[in-house]
């Protein structure tokens, strides 16, 4: 993939991808809404190793950072947080589950 160009025209949320393998060939996309547009463009930017630019990415990053800070504060209050993941339980004898009410 050569590049991605974004356009926001008259309510349309569109972008085009130019391919390296085919000259003057583009794939044109139009998202149905702004949220979908940001998901698509953030995903393509991530695959290209570029910075994700949406507001949602910033909000998600801030949420994760806030959780990490809270977890570190728990550790300072005497709650031991293991560095190792919990053990994975063994598989059941069968997967024929039946729940009766």
Which of the four pLDDT bands, split at 50, 70 and 90, describes residue 98?
confident
Its pTM stands at 0.53
- Comparison of pLDDT for 78 and 32, the residue scoring more: 32
Q: How many domains does the chain have?
A: 1
Q: Phi-psi category of 66—alpha, beta or left, where left has phi over 0 and alpha has psi -120 to 50?
A: alpha
Q: Name the helix (H) or strand (E) containing 5.
A: strand 3-9
101 domain residue, yes or no: no
Q: What are phi and psi of 3, to 5 degrees?
A: -160, 165
- Per residue in 11-53, pLDDT tens? 578 888 887 777 778 888 888 888 899 899 999 999 989 999 8
89 domain residue, yes or no: no
23 domain residue, yes or no: yes
Angle at 92 between CA 86 and CA 98, to 5 degrees: 120
Which of the four pLDDT bands, split at 50, 70 and 90, describes residue 2?
low
- What range does the domain containing 64 cover? 10-72
């Amino acid at each position: 993939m050569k590049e991605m160009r974004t356009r926001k025209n008259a309510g349309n949320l569109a972008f085009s991808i130019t391919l390296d393998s085919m000259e003057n060939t583009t794939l044109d996309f139009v998202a149905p809404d702004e949220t979908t547009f940001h998901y698509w463009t953030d995903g393509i930017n991530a695959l290209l190793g570029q910075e994700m630019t949406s507001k949602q990415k910033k909000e998600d990053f801030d949420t994760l950072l806030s959780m990490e800070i809270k977890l570190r504060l728990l550790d300072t209050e005497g709650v031991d947080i293991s560095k190792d993941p919990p053990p994975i339980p063994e598989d059941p004898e069968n997967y024929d589950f039946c729940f009766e009410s």
